[in-house]
């Protein structure tokens, strides 16, 4: 332990603890760790105390590492586990001045895991381990050396891969949030992502089914496993997660209402696809109570009978674990989100219908409501959008009725007539 010393250095206006030691091959090495204390009056003594604390901690782990490395083969596994734990320590990784931006982003998302939704964590991890890893492995830039131009080059790389601006904005959010964390931890003096302009979000124009196309779709899907899923989605403009999360407890046949309050999503966590059922919606506004029509009540009652028939027919092969859910496979298992997407596309193809995404049923619902002169505010509440602006931004270009009223108003105000000039 006596051959492990520590000294204090100033870098980026922050006191850095530099630990000097010799490895098992007797080679002299250094390890830099930030004290997270700025170089201002009164901080040096505190920084020295912190540096000494780092030295003691490092010495303890260093000695333990030496001891474990000398154990027999039975201890090899324990040693590997110890090294994994050691990697999780801040001063071993994140506060290492040689850490690359990719390595930092990977450690950052693991630190954020307890605070994130499983779906958010899964998507962020996938993006970090794909495009961010791909680019910043080929261009290994240290966290401390990262500049706005490097981030801008990364966005240009994403554009070259034909990624849409909307997707690049998601990458920008990850990059900016991770660097904001680094800034808050005094690892960097500023957030370089704040100086980068990401591409503007592309205007989304979805595909929409007409009333006639809806009629054909409902007829063609009558005997399809997704019939009820399609019917409920088209009528209420539900998100895929919302329709699959519907439970019988959400249906009040007496009051003739249905409450949207559960969701089912599919995410990739730790390399495995997992279906997550949550007793809450995407946002507070997404939780909503909607009316039931007689047609939907009949459809739901038919589904109840159908599930009882399948359970009676399949007996022990029928799964009762998900009996509280409305939309199930014939064997009683949950309908997976990915199955809905793929099967819906196949159904349209086999039925000779124009291809749209399953999510476009939601857009088609909004389009039909607008065509029937339903106010935009009412559509916002029907769809469960968090704000009026969200609804307006997506569907304003479809509101032809409002445009006709505007045309009539301006025509009347300007007193335009078609009399010929003699």
What are the residue ranges of helices labelled H in 92-238?
101-112, 118-127, 133-138, 148-160, 165-184, 211-220, 227-236
pLDDT bucket at 191, cuts 50 / 70 / 90: very high
In degrees and rounded to multiples of 5, residue 37 shows phi and psi of -115, 130
Collapsed DSSP state (helix, strand, coil) of residue 246:
coil
Q: Is the pLDDT of residue 71 over 70?
A: no
Q: Is the pLDDT of residue 422 over 50?
A: no
Q: Is the pLDDT of residue 85 over 50?
A: no
Q: Is the pLDDT of residue 244 over 70?
A: yes
Q: Is the pLDDT of residue 283 over 80?
A: no
- Give the H or E element holding residue 57: helix 44-69
Q: Is the pLDDT of residue 30 over 80?
A: yes
Q: Is the pLDDT of residue 226 over 90?
A: yes
Q: Is the pLDDT of residue 66 over 80?
A: no
* 82-96, 128-142, 154-168, 173-187: segment of lowest average pLDDT: 82-96
214 or 269, which is more confident: 214
Identify the DSSP state of 26.
-
Identify the DSSP state of 348.
H
Q: Is the pLDDT of residue 202 over 80?
A: no
203-217 average pLDDT score: 83
The structure's pTM equals: 0.61
217, 209 Cβ separation under 8 angstroms: yes
Most confident of 19-28, 172-181, 206-215: 172-181
Alpha carbons 107 and 39: distance in angstroms, whole number:
27
Alpha-carbon separation of residue 176 from 20, 94, 132, 143, 348 (angstroms): 34, 17, 13, 13, 40
Most confident of 78-92, 102-116, 283-297: 102-116
Cβ–Cβ contacts within 10 Å for residue 42, how many? 7
- Strands 263-269 and 28-38 turn out to be unpaired
pLDDT bucket at 122, cuts 50 / 70 / 90: confident
């Amino acid at each position: 332990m006596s051959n492990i010393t520590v000294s204090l250095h100033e870098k980026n206006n922050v006191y850095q603890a530099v630990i000097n030691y010799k490895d098992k091959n007797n080679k002299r090495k250094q390890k830099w760790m930030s004290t997270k204390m700025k170089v201002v009056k009164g901080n040096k003594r505190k920084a020295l105390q912190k540096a000494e604390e780092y030295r003691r901690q490092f010495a303890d782990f260093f000695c333990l590492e030496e001891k474990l490395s000398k154990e027999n083969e039975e201890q090899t596994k324990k040693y590997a586990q110890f090294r994994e734990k050691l990697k999780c320590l801040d001063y071993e990784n994140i506060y290492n001045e040689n850490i690359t931006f990719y390595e930092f982003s990977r450690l950052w998302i693991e630190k954020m895991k307890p605070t994130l939704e499983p779906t958010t964590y899964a998507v962020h991890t996938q993006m970090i381990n794909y495009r961010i890893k791909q680019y910043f492995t080929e261009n290994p830039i240290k966290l401390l050396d990262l500049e706005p131009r490097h981030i801008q080059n990364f966005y240009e790389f994403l554009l070259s891969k034909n990624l849409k601006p909307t997707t690049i904005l998601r990458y920008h959010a990850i990059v900016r949030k991770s660097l904001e964390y680094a800034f808050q931890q005094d690892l960097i003096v500023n957030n370089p992502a704040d100086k980068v302009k990401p591409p503007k979000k592309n205007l989304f124009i979805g595909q929409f089914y007409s009333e006639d196309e809806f009629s054909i779709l409902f007829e063609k899907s009558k005997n399809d496993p997704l019939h009820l899923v399609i019917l409920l989605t088209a009528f209420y403009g539900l998100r895929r997660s919302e329709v699959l999360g519907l439970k019988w407890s959400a249906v009040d046949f007496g009051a003739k209402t249905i409450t949207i309050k559960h969701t089912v999503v599919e995410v990739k966590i730790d390399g495995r696809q997992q279906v997550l059922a949550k007793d809450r919606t995407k946002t507070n506004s997404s939780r909503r109570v909607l009316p039931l029509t007689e047609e939907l009540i009949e459809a739901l009652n038919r589904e109840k009978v159908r599930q009882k028939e399948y359970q009676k027919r399949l007996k022990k092969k029928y799964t009762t674990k998900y009996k509280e859910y409305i939309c199930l496979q014939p064997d009683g298992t949950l309908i997976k989100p990915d199955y809905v997407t793929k099967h819906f596309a196949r159904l349209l193809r086999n039925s000779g219908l124009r291809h749209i995404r399953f999510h476009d049923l939601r857009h088609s619902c909004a389009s039909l409501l607008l065509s029937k002169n339903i106010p935009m505010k009412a559509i916002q509440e029907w769809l469960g959008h968090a704000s009026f602006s969200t609804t307006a931004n997506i569907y304003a270009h479809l509101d032809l009725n409002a445009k006709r009223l505007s045309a009539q108003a301006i025509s009347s105000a300007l007193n335009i007539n078609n009399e010929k000039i003699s």
